[in-house]
Amino acid sequence: MNDSAATNRLAVGRIDRAHGLRGELIVTLTTNRLERLAPGALLYTDDATLTVESSQPHLGRFIVRFVGVDDRADADALHGAALFADAIDDPDEWWVHDLIGAVVVDQHGIERGRVVEVEANPASDLLVLDSGALVPLRFAVELVPKERVAVSAPEGLFDQGLSGPQQKN
């Protein structure tokens, strides 16, 4: 991915392996946005742009045909490739790339740290802060992308001494 737009692309899945002899591939998505595999959707690898021709669910993954990938040799050449896509503009969704780098501020105006990672968790995804604190995403009430996440945290969440320096806004 050499162009400047490529630096803003999001990792959305990977090509696991070829499937059959006609260029189909087994793809695992790492996103919940199934429109990434809709016919006509564009996906990118480090050195190719792929257009989805068709896809269908298969054992928790997908069988995908890309335009121009016509045989087993073409499919084998893509084995193991990470798949990237441009961000989707959806104001009703909070995106990981908008949370990373944002400062978490609790309901008392205290800065609790900067988001360095979002960790998947069955009960609620967790905001991992540079202070060491873990904040369930379900406590987030407001987001200014890449700048600030306001949380309404229950008493005691930050009492472990993990929140680092406390500062008022």
The per-residue pLDDT string of the chain (169 residues; one tens digit each, 9 = 90 and over) reads: 445 445 678 899 999 999 999 999 999 999 888 999 999 999 999 999 999 999 999 999 999 999 999 999 999 999 999 999 998 887 777 888 889 999 999 999 999 999 999 998 888 899 999 999 999 999 999 999 889 999 999 988 888 644 444 444 4
Pair of tokens at residue 44: 């990118």
Pair of tokens at residue 152: 């309404």
Pair of tokens at residue 30: 């790492």
The Cα–Cα gap between 93 and 97 comes to: 11
The distance between the two most distant Cα atoms of the chain, rounded to a whole number of Å, is: 62
pLDDT reported for residue 160: 63
Q: What is the pTM of this model?
A: 0.66
The Cα–Cα gap between 39 and 65 comes to: 9
pLDDT reported for residue 95: 81
The Cα–Cα gap between 98 and 52 comes to: 27
In the block, residue with structure tokens 């987001």: 143
pLDDT reported for residue 139: 95
- With beta carbons less than 8 A apart as the criterion, state whether 94 and 140 touch: yes
| Count of beta carbons in the 10 Å neighbourhood of residue 40 | 9
What are the structural domains of the chain?
4-85 (2.40.30.60), 96-168 (2.30.30.240)
- With beta carbons less than 8 A apart as the criterion, state whether 148 and 157 touch: no
